[in-house]
Structure 1
Amino acid sequence: MNKTDRLLAIVLELQSREVVRAEDLATQFEISVRTIYRDIQALSEAGVPILGAPGTGYSLMDGYFLPPVSFTVEEAVTLLIGTDFIEQRFDDEYRVRGQAARRKIEALLSESVRKETSRLRKALRLLEPGKQVAASKERDSFKTIRRAIVDKRKIRFHYSKKIADSTGNHHSDRIVAPYGLVLVEGAWMLVAHCDLRQEIRHFRLSRMTQLLDLEDRFELPADFTLRDYQPSDDRHLRVHLRFTHDVADQVKESNHHLIEEMAEHQEGLDVILRVRHPDELMQWVLGWGANVRVMEPESFRNRIMEEAEKMLKRY
């Protein structure tokens, strides 16, 4: 990277972060701290309003903004595909903003880059989710929750759980402090502190009804960041399944998120999964019909047999 490109990159780095240390910039650009000092001085002399505090780092004066000089074709395609994704998976308000962002990005492109970008985008496609009622309700919930996160307001909702609790109940009313939204395997999940459980829990938006935002406020813990958050792994039950060779490739392609190990041998494809409760796998295992056998635990094998007998009686 030449000096001109590096100076621009430093400004963009300062623009994207509140404070940046010279040592961090030196590491990022693989140059000495002394060279960073000279670059900062050069930018200041060129009129870029950089503020520096000993022992803290550098920052840009509030209100200063330098738009990117240009985009490469690959950068433009990446950004435009991002706006396509936002239009498909976010609520109506962000869909409109995504469209506006796309128009602004396209306006910044040179004629040659715009033509090449258009050609590449025609060769790439994001398939829009099916027009389902559940998907529409999920987007409505997303909008309410997103605003509650920004305003730091608690929310209340009725939640349908896939697996019953210790009392056999599949439903509950929850009041939570929403910390963030995560897209997991095509479904939006809420990470929130639950008043009922007094800990961080995860809630699938598609299972929420009667969602309301409340006047109660909350403060996000100082040590919590959604990017760094790692949920505790409480999947302690080991499930061993054996699939026939006929469906081995399909099982591999299913890429089930609970699979830990797979090994193919003469008798079939052995798959090891770890779950909180075997009922998490009930529908998935039954979906493979006679092409799968539960090797362990025995209690889960018996549950599958019982369910198969119920199905046989129904027919």
Structure 2
Amino acid sequence: MNKTDRLLAIVLELQVRQVVRAEDLAARFETSVRTIYRDIQALSEAGVPITGTTGTGYSLMDGYFLPPISFTIEEAVTLLVGTDFIEQRFDDDYRDRAQSARRKIEVTLSDRVRSETSRIRKSLRLLDPGKQAGLSNERENFNKIRRAISDGRKIRFHYSKKMTDSTESRHSERTAAPYGLVLVEGSWMLIAQCDLRQDIRHFRLSRMAELIELEERFERPAQFDLGKYSPLDDRHLRVCLRFDYDIADKVKESNYPYIEEVKEHQDGLDVVLRVRRPDELLQWVLGWGANVIVLEPESFRDRIREEARKILERY
């Protein structure tokens, strides 16, 4: 990165963040702290109102905002493809805003950049970013939850889930404080503090019904960071499969989320998966038909045999 680009990037960092230390800027732009000092001085001499406090960092004076800047072709494509994704995967409000943002971005582009950006975008396609058949309920819940997060209010909903413990109902009413929304494998998940479980739980939006926003308010804990949040891994069941060599590439390209190890050899492709319960793998394994066998555990081999027997009886 040359000096001009770095100076602009520093202003953008200061504009986004309230206070930034010289050490953090040096790490961000892979340069020395002394160079950052010189850059700050150069910006100040150019009229950018930067204030610095020893031991705290640098900040922009209130009211200063960088004028509109031009986008490169690659930057414009990145932003516009992002609006395409939001339009397809978010709720109606965000879809409208994505369309509005796209128009504003396109207005700022020069004729050459706009033409080239349009050409490149036509060569890209977001194929099946979500299961269109089930989007209506998911989108409706997404909209309600997003508003509840914005309002800082709890929500109540009916939730259906297949349970391994037969003593628990498969349908339950939950009250929860919504902390955030995460897109996982094409499906939206809610991360929330559940009143029933008195702990953080994950809920698929597609499994929610009769969702309402409550008057009761909540405050998300200051230490909770959705970007760094990682749920406890409770996948303790190890399953080993062997696939025919002819479909090894297809199995690897499936990017199945539970796969932990893959080993290719002359007899085929050995795959190790780790799950909470065998039912999570049943449909996926059966989908490969006779091209896969279960090596272990024996209980899962028996389950596959039982399902195969039931299928044969239906035919």
TM-score calculated relative to the size of structure 1:
0.93
Residue deviations 1:263-296, cap 9 Å, x none?
A: 2333332211000111111111222222222221
Cα distance in 1 between the residues matched to 2:198 and 2:213: 19
Contact 1:158 1:171 in 2 (8 A): yes
Cα deviation, residue 168, structure 1: 5.6
1:13-52 pair list within 5 angstroms: 13-52=13-52
**Equivalent position SS for 2:117:** helix
Contact 2:87 2:95 in 1 (8 A): yes
1:12 equivalent in structure 2: 12
CA 1:67 to 1:264, structure 2 compared with 1: closer, same or farther past 3 Å? same
Cα deviation, residue 82, structure 1: 0.6
Contact 1:49 1:64 in 2 (8 A): yes
The residue type paired with residue 281 of structure 1 is: L
CA 1:75 to 1:178, structure 2 compared with 1: closer, same or farther past 3 Å? same
Cα distance in 2 between the residues matched to 1:155 and 1:164: 26
1:271 equivalent in structure 2: 271
After alignment, is 91-100 or 267-276 more displaced?
A: 267-276
Cα distance in 2 between the residues matched to 1:270 and 1:35: 52
Residue deviations 1:123-165, cap 9 Å, x none?
A: 1122355784411111111111111112221111111214443
1:109 and 2:131 aligned = no
Contact 2:130 2:187 in 1 (8 A): no
The residue type paired with residue 158 of structure 1 is: H
Contact 1:148 1:213 in 2 (8 A): yes
Cα distance in 2 between the residues matched to 1:275 and 1:154: 31
The residue type paired with residue 190 of structure 2 is: L
The residue type paired with residue 193 of structure 2 is: H
**Equivalent position SS for 1:232:** coil
CA-atom RMSD, angstroms? 2.0
Residue deviations 1:186-211, cap 9 Å, x none?
A: 11111111112222111111111111
CA 1:257 to 1:39, structure 2 compared with 1: closer, same or farther past 3 Å? same
Residue deviations 1:191-239, cap 9 Å, x none?
A: 1111122221111111111111111211111111111111111111101
CA 1:162 to 1:115, structure 2 compared with 1: closer, same or farther past 3 Å? same
2:240 equivalent in structure 1: 240
Cα distance in 1 between the residues matched to 2:230 and 2:2: 39
**Equivalent position SS for 2:227:** coil
Count residues in correspondence. 315
Contact 2:137 2:206 in 1 (8 A): yes
After alignment, is 69-78 or 2-11 more displaced?
A: 2-11
Contact 1:88 1:129 in 2 (8 A): yes
Contact 2:89 2:130 in 1 (8 A): no
Runs of 4+ residues deviating >4 angstroms = 128-131
Contact 1:163 1:279 in 2 (8 A): no
CA 1:237 to 1:122, structure 2 compared with 1: closer, same or farther past 3 Å? same
Contact 1:294 1:300 in 2 (8 A): yes
Cα deviation, residue 166, structure 1: 4.2
Cα distance in 1 between the residues matched to 2:119 and 2:153: 45
**Equivalent position SS for 1:81:** helix
1:148-297 pair list within 5 angstroms: 148-167=148-167, 169-297=169-297
Contact 1:258 1:273 in 2 (8 A): yes
Cα distance in 2 between the residues matched to 1:96 and 1:75: 22
**Equivalent position SS for 2:308:** helix
The residue type paired with residue 143 of structure 2 is: K
The residue type paired with residue 9 of structure 1 is: A
Contact 2:131 2:186 in 1 (8 A): no
Cα deviation, residue 303, structure 1: 1.8
**Equivalent position SS for 1:118:** helix
**Equivalent position SS for 1:70:** coil
1:72 equivalent in structure 2: 72
CA 1:246 to 1:15, structure 2 compared with 1: closer, same or farther past 3 Å? same
Residue deviations 1:14-60, cap 9 Å, x none?
A: 01112100111123234433333333233334332323222111122
TM-score calculated relative to the size of structure 2:
0.93
2:122 equivalent in structure 1: 122
Cα distance in 2 between the residues matched to 1:225 and 1:131: 28
Fraction of identical pairs, as percent: 75
Uncovered stretches (5+) of structure 2, i.e. residues with no partner? none
1:301 equivalent in structure 2: 301
Cα distance in 1 between the residues matched to 2:180 and 2:196: 18
**Equivalent position SS for 1:107:** helix
Cα distance in 2 between the residues matched to 1:65 and 1:257: 43
CA 1:85 to 1:197, structure 2 compared with 1: closer, same or farther past 3 Å? same
Contact 1:192 1:202 in 2 (8 A): yes
Cα deviation, residue 61, structure 1: 2.6
